[in-house]
Structures are given as structure tokens and as C-alpha cells.
Amino acid sequence: MHNHLKIFSGNSNNPLANEICSFLDISLGDALIRKFSDGEIFTQIKENVRGKDVFIIQSTCPPVNDNLMELLIMVDALKRASAKRITAVLPYYGYARQDRKVQPRVPISAKLVADLITATGISRVVSIDLHVGQIQGFFNLPFDHLFAAPVLIDYFKKKNIEDFVVISPDVGGIERARIIANKLNVGLAIIDKRRSGPNVAEVMHVIGDIKNKNVIIVDDMIDTAGSLVNTVESITNQGARDIYACCTHPVFSGPALERIKGSRLKELVVTNTIPVVDGINSEKIVVLSIAELLGEAIKRIHEETSVSSLFEDDFFKD
């Protein structure tokens, strides 16, 4: 396997790429990525990739545009170096929230980014917990959509929290929260909220019984944490006891970390699809690794075996 498999990484998440390589027992590919004085990105692949099966690990997280351009330029370099197949592994897919027109004269940026990635001649895309599943359909090529839920479920099972309920912070996240609630064999509640603008949400109602219950809020991503903190405040006022939260993508922009530290959250569990350098020292934030999940998916793609079976026994059985 190792003779034909190559893994490279952009600058977005080198620690995760190294963890994946450690799991697969291979070395991270040697690539030079730097900027010219005017900000243009330069890439050179420093080893032979002719005829190789190449995977690029690159989250399009902040700085989003730089990381996206790094990905596009790396793919072009690898194509011109005669790589046999190139797979973009995007643990976090940026621009995913702009997936449809919700107002007049606005873009569908998630589709535009998909078109840009496709135009490079990429062979396949792998991502984790897309903001909406329909983004897979924006690509006219194979797309493996992975889920971090097994990692999160395993963590909360080991905590043995008694008398708790899972909460979806909005209607769009019901399916994700329901699957986790079913696996943990607990109840489900839903937040009815109104979004008045980007990163601004107001909690309207809580549908479900949370009084005197311990609570786990389940979301796909946390950006400024304003919506999360408002939700925590609202369910606290409605009688919830200890409040936990979990998400796959810790974007943590702007005042996010300050809001989390100052909130009534007992614990926030995230994965390392995006580096959480400043938040690791916070007692409230726990970072779980998805390196083994991605590593196993890469191994199966390379060996042309089933990726979906990764989740069938542990995730979709219910």
C-alpha cells in the first residue's frame, strides 16, 4: 500500500495531517508552500509523485481564502507532476453556509467553491459533517461524506452522564441530533430560533422536556459562539441542569472563546478538523481527534474498499 500512496498537507492543519500519517505508518509528503512578497502563493512538490495515489489534507478554515488557494494550487502542481489520482481531503468545508439563495441577488458560494475545486481536475473529495448534505451534489465527481458522530458518541458514553437529553440547536440539525440521541438511548429536544442576520440568532422556543435534565447541545460547527451562548442561557432559564455541547468544526472566530469561557457551559467537546490552539488550555474545551477516522477512510479509498461500512455497524444500524 505504502509504495503508491502519498499524503500531502497545506498549511491549514499540519498536526492533523501528521496524525493521519502516523496512523497509516507513512511519512508526510514533502511540499514547499510559501508566499511571494505580494501575497501570491507558490507551491513546489519536492518528491516524485508520478503514477501515485495522492491525498491532500486541507481544511478551508481561517484564513479561508488562503487555504482554499493553497489547495487549488497544490492540486495543479500534482496534476502537472503526473500524479495518477488526486483526492482532496477537506476535514472542514468552508463557505458551506452559503448553500442556497435566501435573499435576492446573493451568491451560492458553496457551489462556486465546488466548481473551483472540480476545475482543477481533482479525482475525488472527502469531507466531514458538511453543513448541509446537499453540497455533495455540487460536485460531479465521487464525494465521501464522513461523520464525526462515532467519535463524539464514544466520548459521551464513557462519561456516564445520568438523566440527560440531546438538543438540536435548530431545525436543520435534527437528523444529526436524533442519531446521537438514539445511539445514547436518550430523549431529544429542539430549539426553535430566529436568525436575524449572519452570526445572529434569537432563541424563540424549546420543544421538549429539559427541566431538571442534564443537556448535550449537538451542532456541526461553532463560529462566534453567539448562538450557542444564547441557547445555553435560554435552557438554563428553563430549568436545565449541567449543560454540555459538542460540535465537529470549532471555527471559533471573533469573541467565540471569551463567550464560551464566560458561559454556563460545563464542557464543550470538539474535534480537530480545525486547529484549536488558543482553546486547548481552556478547562471547558475538550478536543477529540478524527485522525484515525480519516486515516481509515483514506486507506479504504486507496485499497478500493467500502468507506460507508465504516459507519454501518456503529452509526447507521439504528
Asked if residue 132 lies in contact with residue 96, where contact means CB atoms within 8 angstroms, the answer is yes
Asked if residue 165 lies in contact with residue 189, where contact means CB atoms within 8 angstroms, the answer is yes
Sign of torsion over alpha carbons 82, 85, 89, 95? positive
Find the catalytic residue in 6, 183, 193, 213.
Answer: 193
Asked if residue 6 lies in contact with residue 55, where contact means CB atoms within 8 angstroms, the answer is yes
Q: If DSSP codes are grouped into helix, strand and coil, which group holds residue 192? A: strand
CA distances from 41 to 11, 59, 61, 67 (A): 11, 16, 17, 10
Residue 65: closest CA among 87, 43, 39, 88: 39
Residue 193 annotated to the active site:
yes
| AA identity, residue 277 | V
User: What does the buried/exposed string (b/e) look like for 37-76 if buried means 16 or more CB atoms within 10 Å of the residue's CB?
Assistant: eeeebebebeeebeebbbbbbbbbbbebebbbbbbbbbbe
| CB-CB neighbours of 192 under 10 Å | 11
Q: Which residues contact 285 (CB under 8 A, 6 or more apart)?
A: 250, 260, 267, 268, 270, 276, 279
End-to-end CA distance of the chain: 34
Active site residues: 193
